[in-house]
Amino acid sequence: MSNTLRGRNLLSMSDLTGAEILAILDQGAELKANRAKAQAAAPLAGKTLGMIFQKPSLRTRVSFEAGMTRLGGHAIYLSPVDFQLGKRESVEDVAIVLSRYVDVIMARVFGHDIVADLAKYATCPVINGLSDFEHPCQILADFLTIRERKGTLKGLNAVYVGDGNNVAHSLMYGAARVGMHMTIAAPAGFDPHAKVLSEAQQMGRETGATIRVSHDPAEAAKNADVLYTDVWASMGQEAEAEARRAKFQGFQLNTKLMGYAKQDVVLLHCLPAHYGEEIEYTASRTPNSAIFDQAENRMHAQNGLLVLIAGE
């Protein structure tokens, strides 16, 4: 298949076709399996990634930076205080100036419009490293992890228990694209965005994926191949954390919920985790849990993406 990703942005999982998602996973898996070969080939030699952060990060920052090193390139971390995106300097000017120096921009932002504006004004590809609306790089790593454990994505029953947030949105789009069934089990009032649900359902009709919302975690978890959760209060929602804690009771990924799923269910959490809230520590340490493979795979999946969008 010819590479349709060169020079492209990745703002949303819906930007990618199912074939493109699989191509990224294949490329990432190959780089993971052949580290020495990948480093010798240095597919991003001389290339620089500019990484803009408005929010904290462990995985996103380190996986992109270490990933660029493995690929023979370089990454520059730009912290929230470095140039105060939109305050010290407009998003438009930052995008134009950074594009004169770097080959790819990755940005972790509050409003999704900020990463969309960076992409509008930048003359190099822009990757969404998490916005309030989506987290596509996470889902590429999740899919690589699921595929490692299950051998496939198409036709699996994936269930996400918790907040209908950025991670849930990207999962819904991604699942729809690759033909994986996806149920979001959220407390009433915390459903994913209605537009994401209707668009993902529409995309799912083309691939055979059923995308739905439930308010009953036990019902949703029945026969699940994958059980996924994320924090109840995302970055930027710290003031709501206590009120949310009360409303999310019963929406925990734990050994009881695992009992409704298939024996070999894969447990996922994008991390950071709040043990005792959205995930039980004991469940996170069972052999079913792939949370640390998932964290590692951030780097491999993103390396696949970087090579396809910025390689020669």
What stretch of H or E contains 228? Answer: strand 226-229
Minimal CB distance residue for ligand NVA:
234
Percent of the chain as helix, strand, coil, to the nearest 5 = 45, 15, 35
Q: Does 235 interact with ligand NVA (rule: CB under 6 A)?
A: yes
Site for ligand CP in 46-65 (CB under 6 A): 57-60
CA separation for the pair 195, 56 (Å, rounded): 28
How far from 2 is each of 20, 34, 166, CA to CA, in Å?
Answer: 10, 22, 30
Query: b/e string for 7-35 if b means 16 or more Cβ within 10 A?
Result: ebbbbbbbbbebebbbbbbebbbebbeee
The reply to whether 241 sits near ligand NVA by the rule CB under 6 A is no
State the number of binding residues for ligand CP (CB under 6 A): 9
Cβ(145)–Cβ(153) below 8 Å = no
Looking at beta carbons only, is 60 or 183 nearer to ligand CP?
Answer: 60
Is 230 in the active site? yes
Question: Is 138 a residue of the active site?
Answer: yes
Q: Which of 8, 70, 135, 147 is catalytic?
A: 135
Contacts of residue 57, defined as CB under 8 A and 6 or more positions apart, other chains included, come to 108, 129, 130
- Beta carbon of residue 51, minimum distance to ligand NVA (angstroms, whole number): 15
- Whether 108 is catalytic: yes
Q: Which is nearer to ligand NVA, 14 or 166 (CB)?
A: 166
Q: Which does 58 bind (CB under 5 to 8 A by kind): ligand CP, ligand NVA, none?
A: ligand CP
Tell me whether residue 59 or residue 70 sits nearer to ligand CP (CB atom): 59
* Catalytic center residues: 108, 135, 138, 230, 270, 298
Q: Which residues bind ligand CP (CB under 6 A)?
A: 57-60, 130, 138, 270-272
